[in-house]
Amino acid sequence: MVIRDKLYIDGRWVPPSTTATVEVQSASTEEVLGRIPAAGPKDAAAAVAAARQAFGTWSATPMTERVAFLKKIQEGLKARSEEIARCITGEVGMPLKLSTAIQAGSPIATFGMYARLLPEFAFEERVANSLVLREPIGVVAAITPWNYPLHQIAAKVAPALAAGCTVVLKPSEVAPLNAFILAEVIDAAGLPPGVFNLVTGLGATVGEALVTDPEVDMVSFTGSTRAGKRVGELAAHGVKRVALELGGKSAAVLLDDADFAAAVRGTVNACFLNSGQTCTATTRMLVPQARYEEAAKLAVDAAAKFTLGDPYAETSKLGPLISATQRDRVRDYIRKGLAEGAELLCGGPEAPPALSKGFYVLPTIFGRVQPGSTIEQEEIFGPVLAIISYRDEDEAARFANDTPYGLAGAVWAGSDERALAFARRLRTGQVDINGGGFNPLAPFGGYKQSGNGRELGKYGLEEFLEYKAVQFKPAPKPAN
């Protein structure tokens, strides 16, 4: 068992002000993996004070030095990538092969990306008689989720440091152990004291203390829409900038000339990735009425390939959910789908056979789901796909847009041009065309209740910068 009994504040590992702790549970065995401090408001205040003290010097650090630190952090994470992957597989339950590529690989790539982007970024621009400056916003509170824990941390910490901001990180208490590895890497990289700080604990105590601290200039939060609303409400009293990456209920729209074999397989894969615990998961599949039966059969065949089991086993393609609470929540949604008359094509609310330990849910597909029903509207965050049929493209667009969310989506068609024309009708922050892959250089974020602000690429860097316009008196015109 991993015991972490200190916080990382002002460049040192220090004991917390409280004796309270949080146990970290294995998603697959239900055993206790580790224990972390449940920090309190005093710890949050100390971390913010350290970040404030460090801001003046760090914000003035030459860009080349910030690039060098980002590269050191990237190299440090890469050296510990196997440890990171195994750690997150234990905490979250993603199969190890996927954890190695995604959970460990993504944060390594993100720090490297910002090391490459920074020298190319225009921090100054002349506009007529003005010099427009981009300057770091200040002290950033980064509050991150458990589903892609280190990836989401890196998507905030790397651009914030690149911009010249100082950071206080509060990771999810459900999957926090990976954040301590990052703190050790940052410490070994020699980042100046106070530039990065780590406090762990519960959102209602240490998280809210960070959001309301008057010395915090910006809050960058990723999590549920409900929690994001609370963050926005608290931060509004300080009129501080808030970036929110929240929930989703993304639709994959299959147009009538799409390659259905590829489209259905791609949709099921995107729905079930990380056991459905992905904010961009395409959990709704919209298909023409005339091709519903074909799509339903292909979806069931695709789901059958998702072998459920121990995430450390080579044969497992689908691991457990994060917790008993999440498992029970997802099963309740499945029961709700049955109660509302959806057709259960595979899976269901029962416990998987031969998996008596761990928070497992059967990969589940519902057919003939009615628009407006609970499982069609609400984010389930589990391996549950809803298939909805539509009569024409106008109806498909209406169904796709008719949820409170607008984070992601997909369009499959006989040509990219036709798919793009339909994609322009979707009110979402990202749309994949005919299986287009994730691009970390593109902006990531959503419309409506999926949040505001963008992460990744140069767009993520811009979130942590303020504009300053400096006006010069125009030179007098020469006399004739």
CA–CA gap between residue 253 and residue 300 (Å, rounded): 18
Which residue among the candidates 279, 346, 376, 455 is catalytic per the annotation?
279
| Residue 181 and residue 76 in contact, taking contact as beta carbons nearer than 8 Å | no
CA–CA gap between residue 342 and residue 208 (Å, rounded): 40
| 245 given a catalytic annotation | yes
With 0-12 / 13-18 / 19 or more C-beta atoms within 10 angstroms meaning exposed / middle / buried, residue 443 is: middle
- What is the distance in angstroms between the CA of the first residue and the CA of the last residue of the chain? 84
Q: What are phi and psi of 155, to 5 degrees?
A: -65, -15
| Residue type, position 315, single letter | T
CA–CA gap between residue 12 and residue 171 (Å, rounded): 18
Which residue among the candidates 173, 245, 376, 379 is catalytic per the annotation?
245
| 279 given a catalytic annotation | yes
Rg, the chain, Cα only: 23
| Residue type, position 371, single letter | P
With 0-12 / 13-18 / 19 or more C-beta atoms within 10 angstroms meaning exposed / middle / buried, residue 436 is: middle
Q: Known catalytic residues?
A: 245, 279
